[in-house]
Amino acid sequence: MTAMAPASPGDLATIGFIGLGNMGGPMAANLAAAGHRVYGFDLNPASCAMAAVAGVTVSAGVEDAVRHADLVMTMLPAGAAVLDVWRIAVAAARSGALFIDSSTIDVMGARSAHALARDAGFAALDAPVSGGTEGAKAATLTFMVGGTVDAFQAGHPILQRMGRKIIHCGDAGSGQAAKICNNMILGVSMAAVSEAFLLAERLGLSAQSMFDVVSTSSGQCYALTTHCPVPGPVPGSAANRDYKPGFATELMLKDLKLAQEAAGAVGVATPLGELAASLYARFAADGGTGSDYSAIVKFLAAAPREARSPASEARSPASEARSPTRAA
Ligand code: NAD
């Protein structure tokens, strides 16, 4: 939680915050700690109770939470929930309220949410985040924001109370576009880092030596230096707490699927993103749900590959079946 100057009425003083889970809870708490009047609602009573302890006034429903709000903020699991809540909120909010959704959802869903707000006369932003639960608690999130320049300027001060970097990416939906591209890189790089640790181990390298070299070499990346998938080198990574999330496998799978949907919609080939989505789908189906996404290293470790040389590959039944000469 952060110590900041109290909010003044001009700073979107009253906030209706819907979705008080792992991310929304601490974000709403930071706004309350900064002096905003925060009315919150979540379908889960346990989340409401935790938010109440952190200074959020719990409302009976979405209408009650947004009725007096200068800002309506949502932090929900998926696009359908965001649209459901925004449909209720645009009918109940007072004139002039700003709408911000920080959930990670599909680009088309984000554009539909913008249209709902616009048609009801409200300014809106899609503002998904990067930085995880740690960033939500410490108010160090990165916000990737889509919407008009005017709406961005109106929302900027409030986003600064929850984040460190606030980036205007473009028009409606651009924040979500940036988010899924970023997380496609993260999913691909976590799989690559995990494979490299497994290979290094088999080649006789310690995890620490591998980390010391790669973290200062050209393979360096966030998946390695912050979310290191093996225990030891990065004390704060989920690998050191039996892969308790953190960033859950199912959320990574959701983001990789969103990236694939978007790539399909605009006709862009993303073979590595596709492969990462398929690996995470198999890992989730194999019991990975509920673990941190870095636990993919255990899934990959459990799928040993048959040792083979290029010569044996040439002789393998599979390669023979693929041979154009045999097919002819
Ligand atoms: P969460 O499941 O902990 O919280 C979501 C909350 O929304 C839950 O408490 C749920 O009860 C509530 N909810 C669902 N539908 C509702 C409705 N109709 N009305 C009121 N409340 C409703 O999830 P989270 O980890 O807080 O993630 C929220 C969003 O942030 C997701 O879109 C996720 O992809 C994104 N995100 C998460 C992380 C992370 O590290 N957890 C990081 C970046 C982005």
> For ligand 1, what atom is nearest to the CA of residue 104?
32
Q: What is the pLDDT of residues 63-85, one digit of tens each?
A: 999 999 999 999 999 999 999 99
27 ligand 1 Cβ < 6 A: no
285 ligand 1 Cβ < 6 A: no
137 included as an active-site residue: no
47 ligand 1 Cβ < 6 A: yes
Residue ranges and CATH numbers for the domains of the chain are: 11-171 (3.40.50.720), 178-301 (1.10.1040.10)
Could you tell me the pTM of the whole model? 0.88
Q: How many whole angstroms separate alpha carbon 286 and alpha carbon 122? A: 44
Q: How many angstroms is it from 67 CA to the middle of ligand 1?
A: 22
182 ligand 1 Cβ < 6 A: no
Pairing of strands 14-18, 57-58: unpaired
Selected catalytic residue, list 179, 244, 254, 257: 179
Q: What is the pLDDT of residues 139-184, one digit of tens each?
A: 999 999 999 999 999 999 999 999 999 999 999 999 999 999 999 9
Location of structure tokens 């019991």: 287
Residue 209 has pLDDT above 60, yes or no: yes
Size of the chain in residues = 328
Write out the two tokens for 196.
């490299």
Average pLDDT over every residue of 197-202: 98
Which residue's CA is the closest to the ligand 1 atom numbered 18?
81
Q: How many whole angstroms separate alpha carbon 48 and alpha carbon 25? A: 8
CA dihedral sign, ordered 219, 222, 226, 231: negative
If we measure between CA atoms, which residue out of 12, 39, 42, 25 comes closest to residue 159? 12
Which residue's CA is the closest to the ligand 1 atom numbered 40?
132
Q: How many whole angstroms separate alpha carbon 325 and alpha carbon 322? A: 9
> For ligand 1, what atom is nearest to the CA of residue 19?
7
